[in-house]
């Protein structure tokens, strides 16, 4: 049975999974998992690339001992973040974490430099301080851009170290806000306009599924494939849908909420509503909005652990299930919640500001986060459907968050739609699917998704039909969002 390895780098954890495909079923097993911890130093928030690389090599080595007939390995990871390397492939600075406070003022800078709708027409990217464009703007004048030979996106950096071939894969390039989403190439005009050195974008750009070279470490003769480098492109490729009338929530550290389209939508409506267009697998696009997802829970958990309360996700989910519903609601995307810090304290401040009961302790705070996320999913899906003209009759919730039964149930209640939860490891599975397609064993996305349906357990949540509580909560949520936006 041919085997494939997926290295899936998430903002919370990295993992190496092996997939064996017998022509009818995909058998997936986890080989290695490791925590991914950002490095904090004052205002600097960066990634430990060396650790990510070492853990990747460790995972691949373990797989070599346990999996037979491995054909290839692919790396996917989160979007926006990148490394600047010199001509010898050494980093000129540690890669920034997109939640660094250093980019806080950069959306305004960007919009001063290029008229927002003109920029959106080209890149189709939501205006958020996390993008590559905003990070590069914040780096101007620091000397790092002058010392850099080229820019490589995070999964490209790891793939480059494994294979010796330094290329950029298209789906991950489309997360930069410097990519021409219609022409499928770097947006040279935008790059020039922002005064960014053109030579940074000199790495050859390749489509998902391109074989780079053989692995330089053990086991030899294992092809490193540029899969869809962007984890969200992988996750949505692994969405087990049967038709087009679906919405998705790719639910990990971020929640990426939207619909799949066949062409980018860059109307003023789409821009003002905060939608992005990203390149997907099989010529598809994702019309989605970034929702500041389970990171709110991750960061709260970190704060509670610091206070001596080490609570796991199943425990937090159970606590939330026992806590009063829809008591306090916040906008998960309030700017005060973007960067690391005392998230429970910041949530309390937002509730005070809007005259709501202040959630205290893990049960109430978790409940507030999950209620608010479900409200935001409904908000985004409604707009995604209205702007794209695509009906949404089922919601596919994929990623680690699909294991959160409360969040899945709330999403069904708020949207009034059935929610299909799973796969939990959608990003890694999408990574495997791209490799299997590149190996000629699956012909397209329709076949790939049918394979997911027949291989992975999925759970369905139906709305109860009594939407009174949810409708009232959603009305209050809309009111809170409007009030917070005008504060």
Q: How far is the C-alpha of 162 from the C-alpha of 220, rounded, in Å?
A: 11
Q: How far is the C-alpha of 369 from the C-alpha of 250, rounded, in Å?
A: 17
Single out the residue of 143, 184, 283, 314 in contact with ligand ADP (rule: CB under 6 A).
314
Q: How far is the C-alpha of 363 from the C-alpha of 367, rounded, in Å?
A: 6
For residue 389, give every residue at least 6 positions away whose Cβ sits within 8 Å of its Cβ, in sequence order, or none.
none
Q: Which stretch binds ligand LRH (CB under 6 A): 74-82, 85-93, 318-326, 411-419?
A: 74-82
**Residues 274-333, interacting with ligand LRH (CB under 6 A):** 290
Q: Is 294 in the site for ligand ADP (CB under 6 A)?
A: yes
Q: 176 is in the binding site of which of ligand LRH, ligand ADP, none (Cβ under 5 to 8 A by kind)?
A: none
Angstrom distances, CA of residue 103 to CA of 40, 44, 110, 449:
15, 11, 11, 38
Q: Is 252 in the site for ligand LRH (CB under 6 A)?
A: yes
Instruction: From the candidates 231, 331, 333, 371, give the one annotated as an active-site residue.
Output: 231
Q: Is 458 in the site for ligand ADP (CB under 6 A)?
A: no
Q: Is 12 in the site for ligand ADP (CB under 6 A)?
A: yes
Characterise 269 by phi-psi region: left (phi > 0), alpha (psi -120 to 50), beta (else).
alpha
Single out the residue of 59, 79, 160, 401 in contact with ligand LRH (rule: CB under 6 A).
79
Q: How far is the C-alpha of 394 from the C-alpha of 391, rounded, in Å?
A: 9
Q: Is 78 in the site for ligand LRH (CB under 6 A)?
A: yes
Q: Burial of 306 by CB count in 10 Å (0-12 exposed, 13-18 middle, 19+ buried)?
A: exposed
231 part of the active site? yes
Q: Is 401 in the site for ligand ADP (CB under 6 A)?
A: yes
Q: Which stretch binds ligand LRH (CB under 6 A): 103-111, 252-260, 335-343, 466-474?
A: 252-260
Q: Which stretch binds ligand LRH (CB under 6 A): 64-72, 224-232, 326-334, 371-379?
A: 224-232
- Cβ proximity to ligand ADP, 12 vs 109, nearer residue: 12
**Residues 370-399, interacting with ligand ADP (CB under 6 A):** 399
Tokens of 468: 């009174």
Cα four-point dihedral sign 149, 154, 155, 161:
positive
Q: Is 253 in the site for ligand ADP (CB under 6 A)?
A: yes
- Is the preceding omega at residue 445 within 30 degrees of 0, hence cis? no
Q: Is 298 in the site for ligand ADP (CB under 6 A)?
A: yes
Q: 256 is in the binding site of which of ligand ADP, ligand LRH, none (Cβ under 5 to 8 A by kind)?
A: ligand LRH
Q: 130 is in the binding site of which of ligand ADP, ligand LRH, none (Cβ under 5 to 8 A by kind)?
A: ligand LRH
Q: How far is the CB of 467 from ligand LRH (least distance, A)?
A: 30
Long-range CB contacts (within 8 A, 24+) of 380-383: 380/257, 380/258, 380/288, 380/289, 380/291, 381/247, 381/257, 381/258, 381/259, 381/415, 383/273, 383/275, 383/289
Contact 75, 7 (CB under 8 A): yes
Single out the residue of 110, 130, 162, 200 in contact with ligand LRH (rule: CB under 6 A).
130
Q: For residue 328, give the nearest of 364, 379, 378, 295 by alpha carbon.
A: 364
Single out the residue of 59, 209, 258, 400 in contact with ligand ADP (rule: CB under 6 A).
400
Number of chain residues interacting with ligand ADP (CB under 6 A)? 18
- Cβ proximity to ligand ADP, 294 vs 380, nearer residue: 294
Q: How far is the CB of 39 from ligand LRH (least distance, A)?
A: 17
Q: 290 is in the binding site of which of ligand ADP, ligand LRH, none (Cβ under 5 to 8 A by kind)?
A: ligand LRH
CB neighbours of residue 41 within 10 Å: 8
Characterise 441 by phi-psi region: left (phi > 0), alpha (psi -120 to 50), beta (else).
alpha
- Cβ proximity to ligand LRH, 278 vs 371, nearer residue: 278
Q: For residue 80, give the nearest of 280, 229, 207 by alpha carbon.
A: 229
Q: How far is CA 107 from the centre of its chain?
A: 20
Query: Footprint of ligand LRH on this chain (CB under 6 A)?
Result: 11, 78-80, 98, 130, 175, 230-232, 252-254, 256, 290
């Amino acid at each position: 049975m041919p085997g494939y390895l997926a290295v899936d780098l998430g903002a919370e954890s990295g993992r190496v999974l092996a997939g064996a495909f017998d022509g009818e079923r995909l058998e997936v097993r986890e080989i290695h998992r490791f925590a991914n911890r950002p490095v904090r130093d004052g205002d600097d928030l960066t990634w430990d690339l060396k650790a990510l690389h070492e853990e990747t090599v460790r995972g691949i080595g373990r797989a070599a001992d346990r999996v037979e007939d491995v054909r290839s390995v692919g790396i996917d990871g989160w979007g926006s973040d990148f490394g600047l390397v010199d001509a010898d492939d050494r980093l000129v600075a540690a890669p920034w974490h997109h939640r660094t406070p250093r980019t806080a003022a950069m959306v305004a800078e960007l919009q001063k430099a290029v008229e927002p709708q003109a920029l959106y027409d080209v890149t189709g990217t939501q205006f958020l301080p996390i993008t590559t464009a905003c990070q590069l703007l914040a780096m101007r004048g620091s000397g790092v851009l002058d010392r850099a030979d080229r820019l490589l996106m995070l999964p490209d950096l790891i793939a480059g170290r494994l294979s010796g071939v330094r290329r950029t894969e298209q789906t991950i390039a489309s997360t930069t806000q410097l990519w021409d989403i219609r022409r499928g190439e770097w947006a040279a005009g935008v790059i020039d306009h922002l005064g960014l050195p053109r030579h940074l974008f000199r790495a050859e750009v390749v489509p998902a599924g391109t074989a780079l070279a053989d692995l330089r470490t053990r086991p030899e003769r294992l092809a490193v494939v540029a899969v869809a480098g962007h984890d969200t492109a992988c996750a949505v490729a692994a969405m087990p849908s049967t038709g087009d009338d679906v919405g998705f929530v790719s639910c990990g550290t971020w929640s990426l909420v939207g619909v799949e389209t066949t062409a980018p939508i860059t109307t003023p409506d789409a821009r003002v509503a905060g939608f992005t267009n990203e390149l997907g697998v099989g010529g598809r696009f994702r019309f989605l909005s970034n929702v500041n997802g389970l990171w709110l829970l991750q960061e709260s958990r970190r704060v509670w652990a610091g206070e001596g309360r080490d609570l796991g996700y199943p425990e937090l989910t159970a606590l939330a299930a026992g806590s009063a519903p829809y008591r306090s609601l916040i906008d998960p995307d309030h700017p005060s919640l973007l960067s690391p810090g005392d998230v429970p304290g910041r949530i309390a401040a937002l509730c005070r500001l809007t005259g709501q009961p202040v959630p205290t302790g893990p049960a109430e705070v978790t409940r507030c986060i999950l209620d608010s996320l479900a409200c935001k999913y409904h908000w985004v899906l409604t707009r995604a459907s209205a702007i794209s003209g695509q009906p949404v009759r089922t919601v596919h919730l994929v990623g680690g968050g699909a294991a959160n039964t409360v969040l899945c149930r709330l999403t069904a209640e708020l949207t009034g739609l059935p929610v299909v939860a799973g796969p939990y490891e959608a990003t890694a599975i999408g990574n495997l699917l791209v490799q299997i397609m590149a190996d000629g064993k699956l012909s397209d996305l329709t076949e790939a998704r049918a394979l997911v349906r027949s291989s992975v357990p999925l759970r369905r949540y139906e709305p109860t039909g009594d939407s009174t509580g949810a409708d009232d909560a959603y009305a209050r949520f809309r009111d809170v969002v409007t009030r917070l936006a005008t504060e």
